[in-house]
Chains A and B, each alone.
Chain A
Amino acid sequence: MQIDFKHNQSAHCENGVVSNLMRHNGFEVSEPMVFGIGSGLLFSYLPFLKVDHAPVFTYRIIPGLIFKRFAKRVGVKIKKEKFKDPKVAKTRLDENLAKNNPVGLQVGVYNLVYFPDEYRFHFNAHNMVVYGKENDRYLISDPVIEHVTSLSEKELEKVRFAKGAFAPKGHMYYPVSFPKTLDLEKAIVKGIKQTSKDMLAPVPIVGVKAIRWVVKNIRKWPKKIGTKKTNHYLGQIVRMQEEIGTGGGGFRYIYAAFLQEASKILNNNQLSEMSKEMTNIGDLWRDFALDASRIYKNRSSETDGYNKIADQLENIANLEEAFFKKLKKLV
């Protein structure tokens, strides 16, 4: 049994699942639109939380929140289910497929067999759509992969019940009711306001302030924790910024694409100018990643290099602060 489902590749899995499920239900919503309305953009630094023996840096809000905010802002109702028992989780999935209902699943990446080994880490907030079952294999639309694929019952159970941080617990979700027409205008304004507020939040672990905290630490790290660990941390920053799913430049390009689309919908030319500014900021994040990679590639220990990339990051923090102060007033 196979549901007629159109697979579109996206940069990020959560946006992609939402965008594909919306399209399946007759609403044409792009990936950047989902990301912008869901206020996906962020910067956050969590030095007390370690992944792969390095602190957590993230360029987006926590998993699941994009969909939640997007649905609320456009008036879509979502049904979410989590399970203790894998058998019940499987039965509920099969029931939905039998009803011709493609569903979103949260899964762990470590046991996802179609990913290259090198990319399989214990990351539990990946998303995919299951759109059918043939010969005991589930048909999978994974938004970050070009083409559709499939998993055996056992393989799917393993990734649905991955353990560790953000354990999915079989998490399954799908939209159940829609408004007659999507009121994107209001949703866009809400999305932009929230992102501006988040990025300018007066807390050290979020937004522009968090970028500045990282700047301070990059200057201190070589002396405090040694160059080897510093380089490992820098590598972690670059990986989080550019790993599969960000669309380049730590989601800044996706956000610029959103602002460009929003300027047309709201008929607001200034937003299109802001889109250009955000593209420039994205380019600066890329330059930062390139220069950081030069440091850990050469394993050079001259502190000048560290100070130089810290300067670059400080410049980005200043630009993003000015950017969101301005953006907030335009909607």
Chain B
Amino acid sequence: MKKEEVPQDESKLETANIREVYYALDENGEYTTELSTGWDPKTIALNNALDQIKERVENAKLRVLKNQTSALEYYMELHKMDVSILASYVGFWQWQVKRHFKPAVFQKLGLKKLQKYADVFGVSIEELKNIKG
């Protein structure tokens, strides 16, 4: 790729004032670096990935409201986590976390355990128990 071909498409990076480095050839065929504001193909890929996360969050929320899972699963999706990541943050086994997804088990969860989840998600126990519908 030549220096002048380094893409300068719009992306979310600009909002944080970030530009990234590309390696490209100058007019003499020597490698040099050039800053880029973004490239559409990867912006589309990122947006698709973010849409999928949104879909997962909405889906989890619906299932919480239908009492098919606990709010923990909703918060997990909201924080782009999966069971293994959540388990390592709260310090439980994965099977324990999955068990806590059961509404009946979640209802009886002790304060200490609830607090661990609340801390990881940065919410109060009250918010943990009642997600905004």
Q: Is the CB of B21 within 8 A of A247?
A: yes
Q: What is the total of A-B residue contacts with beta carbons within 8 Å? A: 126
Known: A116-B12, A231-B48, A292-B41. A244 touches B20 (CB 8 A): yes
- Chain B residue numbers with a CB within 8 Å of A206 are none
Of the candidates B13, B25, B42, which one forms a contact with A238 in the assembled complex, judged by CB atoms under 8 Å apart?
A: B42
- Chain B residue numbers with a CB within 8 Å of A114 are 16
A43 at the interface (CB under 8 A from B): no
Q: Is the CB of B48 within 8 A of A235?
A: yes
Q: Is the CB of A232 within 8 A of B16?
A: no
B52 at the interface (CB under 8 A from A): yes
- Chain A residue numbers with a CB within 8 Å of B17 are 146
B111 at the interface (CB under 8 A from A): no
Q: Is the CB of A115 within 8 A of B80?
A: no
- Chain A residue numbers with a CB within 8 Å of B16 are 114-116
Of the candidates B18, B19, B23, which one forms a contact with A253 in the assembled complex, judged by CB atoms under 8 Å apart?
A: B23
Scan residues 20-41 of chain B and give those whose CB is less than 8 A from a CB of chain A.
20-25, 29-31, 33, 35, 39-41
- Chain B residue numbers with a CB within 8 Å of A10 are 21
Contact segment of B57-65, B84-92, B101-109: B84-92
Contact segment of A63-71, A282-290, A320-328: A282-290
Of the candidates A53, A119, A122, which one forms a contact with B52 in the assembled complex, judged by CB atoms under 8 Å apart?
A: A53
A134 at the interface (CB under 8 A from B): no
Known: A232-B49, A243-B42, A293-B42. A122 touches B31 (CB 8 A): no
Q: Is the CB of A11 within 8 A of B21?
A: yes
Q: Is the CB of A289 within 8 A of B41?
A: yes
A307 at the interface (CB under 8 A from B): no
A132 at the interface (CB under 8 A from B): no
- Chain A residue numbers with a CB within 8 Å of B42 are 238-239, 242-243, 289, 293
Smallest beta-carbon distance A93→chain B, Å: 22
Distance, CA A248 to CA B16, complexed state (A): 20
Nearest neighbor of A235 in chain B, beta-carbon distance: B45
Q: Is the CB of A253 within 8 A of B1?
A: yes
Q: Is the CB of B31 within 8 A of A248?
A: no
B125 at the interface (CB under 8 A from A): no
Of the candidates A110, A231, A279, A293, which one forms a contact with B80 in the assembled complex, judged by CB atoms under 8 Å apart?
A: A110
A102 at the interface (CB under 8 A from B): no
Q: Is the CB of B19 within 8 A of A146?
A: yes
Q: Is the CB of B1 within 8 A of A248?
A: yes
List of 7 A-B pairs having minimum Cβ-Cβ separation, nearest first: A293-B41, A257-B31, A235-B45, A253-B23, A163-B88, A164-B85, A11-B21
Q: List 19 A-B contacts (CB under 8 A).
A: A11-B23, A53-B52, A115-B16, A118-B12, A164-B88, A235-B48, A236-B45, A239-B49, A242-B41, A247-B23, A248-B6, A253-B31, A256-B23, A256-B31, A260-B31, A289-B41, A289-B42, A293-B45, A296-B48
